[in-house]
Structure 1
Amino acid sequence: MNALLSDWTTPFGLPPFDLIRDEDFGPAVDAALEEARANIKAIAENPEAPTFQNTIAALETADKRLSQALSAFWAVAGADSNDARQVLEREFAPKLSAYGSEITSNTALFARIDGLWERREALELSPEEMRVLHLTHRGFVRAGARLEGEAAERMKAVKARLAVLGTQFTQNVLADEKEWFMPLSEADLEGLPGFVVAAAKAAGEVKGAGGPVVTLSRSLIVPFLQFSPRRDLRAKAYEAWTARGANGGATDNRAIAAEMLALREERARLLGFASFADWKLETEMARNPANVKDLLMQVWQPARDAAERDAAVLERMLREDGFAGPLEPWDWRYYSEKRRAAEHDLDEAGLKPFFQLDRMIEASFAVASRLFRLEFRELPDAPRYHPDVRIWEVTRHGAHVAVFLGDYFARPGKRSGAWCSAMRQQSRLDGEVRPLVVNVCNFAKAESGPSLLSWDDARTLFHEFGHALHQMLSDVTFESISGTSVARDFVELPSQLYEHWLEVPEVLEDFALHAETGEPMPRDLRERLLAAGTYDMGFQTVEYLASALVDMAFHDGPAPADPMQRQAEVLESIGMPRAIRMRHATPHFAHVFSGDGYSAGYYSYMWSEVMDADAFAAFAEAGNPFDAELARSLEAHILSAGGSEEADVLYTRFRGRMPGVEALLRGRGLVAA
């Protein structure tokens, strides 16, 4: 019996991972696709006149079984991949693309939707129903429902090819990350703090290397670059890290990126848009590429100026160490860490014991409890896809709200980075459905004792939990507008806003407890940590902005035949500091090339930051980071509302107005306070 196709009787409807075998996924997806196609056919050929219920609402649940099967598959495909699952990803990509194209090119189905849209004012719909009708109609049109003949067939082919290429791009990056490691001798470990040595030894055991190694896991390579005094080893590790997807051979992504950009441009032009960016931004808060570039360039110059000032200081330190210079990208983190230790009396090795993973999880829960009255109960016996995964039931006043899964540790087969996804989204169209929400991170797992986080790791944990709250607190009828189903340049608002509560002094007092002594972080250390909040912000802003500007340049205008050349041209035109590189170089820019999610959309982190800086300022103005009235307003107008209205409407309801860029610049320390 295929567990993926049965009704799950597990706690809270979690996928029965203990009963699911890799060989179950293919037959389950095929059967679910057949069922979904039959449901779509029944909707399109319904002899009754189209109504909201028999057409739009029916579409919402037409592929329920398919979503169930895929929810379990995508969880393991990203966070616990293996050869069999990678083969399935490649098989599913064209199948799912074809299914999506069949729906949007179904002329009978679109005729029903179009007819409802034309007479929408006479349908007496609720505001939420009107919103779903609008988004459904717009989605069909933007997918090519009005195309005919050769144009329609070409659109299907373009989307199918893009799906295949996106999967291949992702798997190539993962392959490069899994393949590379650098053995370290005992001499190579000199100067490294204990937590880096421990992580290198643990990584060596996983690799079967017979000793410590550096891998391309961010949780290991970044602290190695921060602390290793061996400039030659830093250079070797850094170049390998930034060369992912560009090593030649079967895993090289440069040709894939070029083909994807050309196909995206063709897709946009088939729909009558001047560029892919124009098509993509039509539905975002930014509206058009000019507005995006205006925001990014408002921040670029002050960020670049700050980075150049910092580079001059770091290069002097390099020369004092006997190197002729110039400062190289593999030098920046090392000398910046030394400078931070000197100027702020802070060092990562001294800070890490105060950021135990378990305490930071508790901190994220405690903040949610104070703001939104949520409670968390761990479920040790619930089914999970990997032993590292932890699961909690989330309640409020005793009532079930959601199930939250936390998958925190780096391991082979897990995609790099951090993300939030929902194995099931909130809705109540077909009865009350509560969400199953997953946070995935890549923190280093301790061999023994508590696992320790860096300050940046702790911020990542809070960031992803902010996304999770957006899913968990959703309160809408239709899944298509539930949780994080919002404009891409709005979706990062809840996550980036939640990061601010990690910096609240009383949160650090209660949860930043030393791993060995149990003592809270001393007040003077906490104050130095918070005072250094904008330290190195020129570097961080420049590396991010460079990636965002390259992404926009790729998609705003004709697709470049050689993306690497276009990347170089953009970086030269903006005056990229030589000692800083893009946060994500094109061959491993998964945000942009693993799918369409952040394509022409990487800017959205900064667009959202304009709002998150302004939104947290509301709590500062109230004089209380846990102001109950503001928390209720935040939940009502942002976290529970999903995509039920336009993002600017929702934000204005919370704040009373839209923000400017000033709060962002102040928050990053790029202008005088």
Structure 2
Amino acid sequence: MKSQLLIELKKTGIPNFELFKSSEDLKVIPDLLNELLSKERADFEKILEKNAENLTFDELFIEGELGYLRNILNFLNSTEKSPEIRKIIQDFRAKYEDFLNQIAYSRRYYEVLSDFSKRDDLNADQARILELEIKYFKQRGIDLDEKTQEQVKEINKKISEISEKIQNNVTDEQAHFLINFPDNESFLSLPKDILTMARKASKGEKMLTFDANPSGLQAILKYCDDPEIRKTIYLQLNQWASKGEYSNKNLIFEFLSLRRNRAQILGYENFAHQSLENKMASSPAEVKKLIGEIAEKAKLKAKNELELLKSTYNLTQINPRDLVYYARKYKEEFYSFDEEELRQYFEFDHVVDWLFEFVKNFLGVEMRKIKKSEGPSAIFEYEVYFNDTQIAFFVLDPFYRAGKRQGAWADILREKDSEFLPLVINVENFSENRDGKTLLYKRDVETLFHEFGHALHAMLADSRYAQLNGFNVERDFVELPSQLMENWVKDQEALKSLAKHSETGEQIPFYMLQTQENLQTRMMGNFVLRQCELTLVDMSLYDSELPDSSEELENSILEISNRYSLFPRGQEYQLYCSFLHIFGGGYGAGYYSYMRAELLEADVFQKIKENGIFSPQIGNLYRDKILAQGCRKPARKLFSDFMGRDPDSKALMKKYGFLEQ
């Protein structure tokens, strides 16, 4: 079995994931991990034995199967409910962290890289990689004394362990979650497919049973007429992993403490300053100023929106749990907007076909399907071509299943190297209709396009070196390609061909296009204000003094939230316990990146629109100046190379509807 798995790891292309899930293979994977670790340790020692002049550039970095196998296991752990795979990952984590620390704090390795960087036969990509690697060594503390380095290494291991526990607690509670309601008239307005699934899950007991599938829970908030039921669901969505055996409260307090401690050992004021050293923003103050200014504009718009809803529906107040319910009613009654009717124009297969045809014409990227898995929760596999040359492999895992981590994300399972093409994945949690055509909500289509924007950024990097792919650009720039792609789901010209009726094949009617246009900035104030709230909670957590206890931390978070939210946040508001982005998801003191990147992409899309949103000429320019460059250059330079100037916030203000105020 072990030899079969090793053969699979050495093959080019997309692995047979089933091989890594069978009980027989799971028994040998721990031994295989240890063997691969021993081999990579030996390879690393060989690098240290040589002088820079006796090494080639490719010999400076380890290329092996260990990282690939770990990525496969992490992918399966995120998308399948497998206690066996989770235990393998947990048992191996400490050994792997020790190896990463061995590399990260090797004085000899640092000297080899430094010496190699002085050679005059380096090309631009090689020089850039060495520049970044040497910078990261210094930021990690290569100049610290050995005792202090050992302290940092232990903190690194502990942070990794706690981050994993935080994520597992959220996933586990959601995997075990079920809630039942009487099947009565309060639910009649819910989408038919959501009701059908809930009735099937209740096993014919005149009840509705919902699991943690966000499509069902969000539908209750939006359509259920019973305010008490909406309150129950709202509280649940804001209380994942906040109590009982799944509580993350103490873990998060320890996590924040460790990150702060490590940052200060490394010479930073706090983790926020450390995090921003490799981002476009120069300081926490700059971030708070930018987001604070947006928040003030958003608050004004949000207040007007709430007053409109209150006066329309004779309400003395609106609770946060009721906001999407009344916003939906308002759009239906005053704009004849029916989300379920619109959904009929976004059939999954057609949307994916349209997306791939678009990137073929706009960017020259061709997606060739090679496999679709059978059974529920289909997974799609593709080869990716540019100029008739294969550049990558791509896996799309779009549908919800119990035990799958919620949300949507992109990742690289196998990095590009001298022997292999990159293998990139997109994961979403759309509700699949197993009895017919799967229809997507418009927000689902935006998510699909968003994650594929990330995939393009990874797959189109010109450099042959993985270190320079698009995922390694500054975090507050990495969301530009993903958020940019969402514009083709919102633009009228694109919707004329993208939105096609699932039964008749007819183009979306003009009145629906006009409705979409009219609603672009409607109810945008509260959405933007909420993003500002989350962003400033994140930055404040990492830039402020840490309270003395998890209870005080919770009060501090509520105080920050109440500064920016129009809705009073009480003790029942525990969203931070499942805010995975900032506790190990790579966005700690960096959640602002979404809004900063949106400012950039709004500017970029305005230029694209001026040149034609389907124009191959502007598409090629975007591909060549941004996507293909990966992180060859600093993000500011990438932006100015495409735009010919520095960023301008006017396009974002227009997008949010703030210029109308």
- TM normalised by structure 2 equals 0.93
Is 1:285 matched with 2:276? Answer: no
Cα pair distance change 1:295/1:471, threshold 3 Å:
same
Amino acid at match of 2:211: T
SS in 2 for 1:138: helix
Q: CA deviation at 1:233?
A: 0.7
For residue 135 of structure 1, what is the aligned residue in structure 2?
132
Alignment counterpart, residue 612 of structure 1, candidates 601, 609, 629: 601
Q: Deviations over 1:295-332 (max 9, x none)?
A: 10120001111111112222345546xxxx53111101
Question: 1:355, 1:3 → 2: CA distance?
Answer: 45
Cα pair distance change 1:38/1:414, threshold 3 Å:
same
Question: 1:219, 1:559 → 2: CA distance?
Answer: 36
- Contact kept in structure 1, 2:460 and 2:627, CA below 8 Å: yes
For residue 592 of structure 1, what is the aligned residue in structure 2?
582
Superposition map of 1:102-251 within 5 A = 102-117=102-117, 120=118, 123-187=120-184, 188-201=186-199, 204=202, 212-247=208-243, 249-251=244-246
Superposition map of 1:61-80 within 5 A = 62-80=62-80
Question: 2:571, 2:133 → 1: CA distance?
Answer: 40
For residue 408 of structure 1, what is the aligned residue in structure 2?
398
Alignment counterpart, residue 264 of structure 1, candidates 259, 262, 283: 259
For residue 484 of structure 1, what is the aligned residue in structure 2?
471
SS in 1 for 2:659: coil
Q: CA deviation at 1:390?
A: 0.9
Q: Deviations over 1:522-569 (max 9, x none)?
A: 111122113212221111111111111000001113233333122112
Cα pair distance change 1:72/1:81, threshold 3 Å:
same
Q: Deviations over 1:441-462 (max 9, x none)?
A: 0011114111111111110011
For residue 647 of structure 1, what is the aligned residue in structure 2?
635
Name the stretch that deviates more: 261-270 or 533-542.
533-542
For residue 629 of structure 1, what is the aligned residue in structure 2?
617
Is 1:567 matched with 2:557? Answer: yes
Q: CA deviation at 1:224?
A: 1.6
SS in 2 for 1:64: coil
Question: 2:54, 2:559 → 1: CA distance?
Answer: 50
Cα pair distance change 1:462/1:218, threshold 3 Å:
same
Question: 1:466, 1:618 → 2: CA distance?
Answer: 18
Q: CA deviation at 1:51?
A: 4.2
Is 1:58 matched with 2:55? Answer: no
Question: 2:54, 2:470 → 1: CA distance?
Answer: 22
For residue 408 of structure 2, what is the aligned residue in structure 1?
418
Question: 1:65, 1:418 → 2: CA distance?
Answer: 26
For residue 498 of structure 2, what is the aligned residue in structure 1?
511
Q: CA deviation at 1:5?
A: 5.1
Q: CA deviation at 1:185?
A: 2.2
Q: CA deviation at 1:387?
A: 5.8
- TM normalised by structure 1 equals 0.92
Question: 1:440, 1:22 → 2: CA distance?
Answer: 23
Cα pair distance change 1:415/1:439, threshold 3 Å:
same
Is 1:496 matched with 2:496? Answer: no
Cα pair distance change 1:531/1:366, threshold 3 Å:
farther
Q: CA deviation at 1:366?
A: 1.7
Is 1:399 matched with 2:389? Answer: yes
Question: 1:246, 1:264 → 2: CA distance?
Answer: 21
Q: Deviations over 1:68-88 (max 9, x none)?
A: 212321221111232112222
Cα pair distance change 1:313/1:581, threshold 3 Å:
farther
For residue 510 of structure 2, what is the aligned residue in structure 1?
523
Q: Deviations over 1:592-629 (max 9, x none)?
A: 1134x10000000011111100001111222x112222
- Contact kept in structure 1, 2:319 and 2:567, CA below 8 Å: no
Is 1:371 matched with 2:374? Answer: no
Q: CA deviation at 1:12?
A: 4.4
- Contact kept in structure 2, 1:86 and 1:171, CA below 8 Å: no
For residue 38 of structure 1, what is the aligned residue in structure 2?
42
Amino acid at match of 2:441: S
Question: 1:665, 1:52 → 2: CA distance?
Answer: 55
- Contact kept in structure 1, 2:346 and 2:442, CA below 8 Å: yes
- Contact kept in structure 2, 1:493 and 1:612, CA below 8 Å: yes
Question: 1:29, 1:670 → 2: CA distance?
Answer: 54
Name the stretch that deviates more: 87-96 or 300-309.
87-96
Cα pair distance change 1:209/1:173, threshold 3 Å:
farther
SS in 2 for 1:131: helix
Gaps of 5+ in 1: none
**In the comparison of the two structures, how many residue pairs are matched?**
653
SS in 1 for 2:371: coil
Q: What RMSD in Å do the two structures reach over aligned CA positions?
A: 2.5
Cα pair distance change 1:172/1:3, threshold 3 Å:
farther
Q: CA deviation at 1:385?
A: 12
Cα pair distance change 1:667/1:628, threshold 3 Å:
same
Amino acid at match of 1:256: L
Q: CA deviation at 1:272?
A: 0.4
Name the stretch that deviates more: 158-167 or 467-476.
467-476
- Contact kept in structure 2, 1:364 and 1:462, CA below 8 Å: yes
Cα pair distance change 1:4/1:315, threshold 3 Å:
farther
SS in 1 for 2:545: coil
Cα pair distance change 1:630/1:582, threshold 3 Å:
farther
What percent of counterpart residues are identical? 27
Is 1:459 matched with 2:446? Answer: yes
Q: Deviations over 1:488-514 (max 9, x none)?
A: 111100001111122233432223122
For residue 98 of structure 1, what is the aligned residue in structure 2?
98
Question: 1:471, 1:443 → 2: CA distance?
Answer: 23
